[in-house]
Amino acid sequence: MKTANPSGVLVISEPPDHRALPNLPDLAPWRWQHAHTPQEAQRLIGTGSFRVGIFDFRSAGGSAAFAGWHEEILRAKTQIQWLAVLPKHQLRDPRFADLVSNRFFAYQADPLEPTQFATLLEAASDMAALRLAHKNRANAGWVPGESPAMRRLDAQLTQSANAGVPILISGEVGTGKGLAASVIHQRSRRCHEDLRVINCVTLPGCLLPCDPDLPDDRRGDLEFRTEAAFRLATPARGTLVLDEIGDLSKSAQRVLLRWLDAHQHQTQLIAITHMDLPRAAEEGRFRGDLLHRLNELHLQMPPLRQRGDDLLLLAEHFIKANWALNRHVTRLSRPAIEAMLRYRWPGNVRELQARIRRAMLMSDDHLLHTEDLGLASPSGALRSVPRAAPPPWCPLRNPSSDGAHLPQGQYP
């Protein structure tokens, strides 16, 4: 992704051959880049080179087409902070006033006062930088990759962050369900509130019968102890993550139902499971009414074997993240890449991370070899691939070398 140019400003206005365009003032160091068609605007937005954009509505009165396609641009999710330049009388139109108040960072009415306009540009640029920095912090450790399944999931994480309904994240062990829950919290309005994670296996035992907080006559009541423990562990606001929700006892499931009725709007609940909860409900091991409440928004984590080339992108990420373990290791050998692509990864991303860490600790070479990864011996977990098919990986820096280089990048 390109870094936004803080001095470049995208200006969207009516085609110049329709009528004379009022000029924007020359304001150093800001440089105007004009777009007069939807195709032009989309192409420039796609470069990722702008923090600030301007919609110049002063010449829009004569063109219904311009008024039609600007909303499509504004609805697109970009890092650009938009400013509106317009005749003041246009704000008398309720629909136009609603558009400006909901889609724009700020507006400037004609005639433009250069000093004030420069201040607005600076503030919009600062806001874009702040939001980009927050997005980077929210994505810390999160490597969505390039596979279609993970691109969809990454978009769903953003869409669900402020949904205000319980979220159920399911998937095989090791697919990154807990990390996805953390990303949802960091992308939400609750990101500055508490994030609490409760392991549902230990929930009933959080308060022991000898705990001084329990009344004497309720020390043997497991459901009362569970409810007390749940109440103590739950944040007043923020996000509550219930890890392995399928392991909740029946008494804890009743407690959770009551909590949802009382606290759903104060705290975001995210439930995580590797179990098939609908099947557990059919077999009577999980309450069907609780499943319906938790399943209002369901996100499915794809297994690593279905993520295609993301496997090697993740391998690169883990090599960089663990570079301090062995500063000599820079890449994977070609046989190691081929073995990784054949392996089925039953432990998913968690297994990949563990194998990379162990390999870096044990390797005495600048390459990670098949033996270092523990993939040298034949295994039923390997799947055959056509020998003639090259691994879907980046171009080699030196095709004649023994090792296949990872994508170039600065190591810590």
More confident residue, 130 or 207: 130
Q: Is the pLDDT of residue 145 over 70?
A: yes
Nearest CA among 403, 345, 406, 331 for reference residue 374: 345
17-31, 132-146, 213-227, 303-317, range with the lowest pLDDT: 213-227
Q: Is the pLDDT of residue 35 over 90?
A: no
Cβ neighbours around 140 below 10 Å, total: 10
79: burial class by Cβ within 10 Å (0-12, 13-18, 19+)?
middle
- Domain 5-137 belongs to what topology? Rossmann fold (3.40.50)
Between CA 374 and CA 340 the distance in angstroms is 10
What pLDDT shows up at residue 232? 62
Q: Contacts from 22-28 at CB under 8 Å and sequence distance 24+?
A: 22/56, 22/58, 22/59, 22/110, 24/54, 24/56, 24/85, 24/112, 25/112, 25/114, 25/117, 27/114, 27/117, 27/118, 27/121
Closest Cα partner for 204 from 170, 233, 166? 233
Q: What are phi and psi of 348, to 5 degrees?
A: 60, -145
CA angle 244, 199, 249 (to 5 degrees): 65
Q: How far apart (Å, rounded) are the C-alpha atoms in residues 379 and 320? A: 28
Domain 162-302 has CATH 3.40.640.10: no
How far, in Å, CA of 52 to CA of 352, rounded? 40
Write out pLDDT tens, residues 351-390: 999 999 999 998 888 899 999 999 976 544 444 444 333 3
Nearest to 126 by CA among 81, 83, 76, 74: 81
The mean per-residue pLDDT over the stretch 287-291 comes to: 93
What confidence category does residue 275 fall into, taking pLDDT thresholds of 50, 70 and 90?
very high
In this prediction, residues 382-409 reach a mean pLDDT of: 38
Of 201 and 214, more confident? 201
In this chain, the answer to whether the domains covering 5-137 and 305-404 adopt an identical fold is no
Q: Under 8 Å CB-to-CB from 387, ≥6 apart: which residues?
A: none
**Percent of the chain that is helix, strand, coil (3-state, to 5):** 45, 15, 40
Q: Where are the domains of the chain?
A: 5-137, 162-302, 305-404
Choice among 60-69, 151-160, 240-249 with the minimum mean pLDDT: 60-69
Question: For the stretch 191-203, what's the b/e string if a residue is b when 16 or more beta carbons lie within 10 angstroms of its beta carbon?
Answer: bebebeebebeeb
pTM of the full structure: 0.59
Domain 305-404 has CATH 3.30.70.3450: no
- DSSP annotation string for 10-47: EEE---TTTSPPPPPPP-TT-EEEEE-SHHHHHHHHHT
Least confident segment among 4-8, 247-251, 283-287: 4-8
Confidence band for 229, pLDDT divided at 50, 70 and 90: low
Q: What is the largest CA-CA distance in the chain?
A: 85
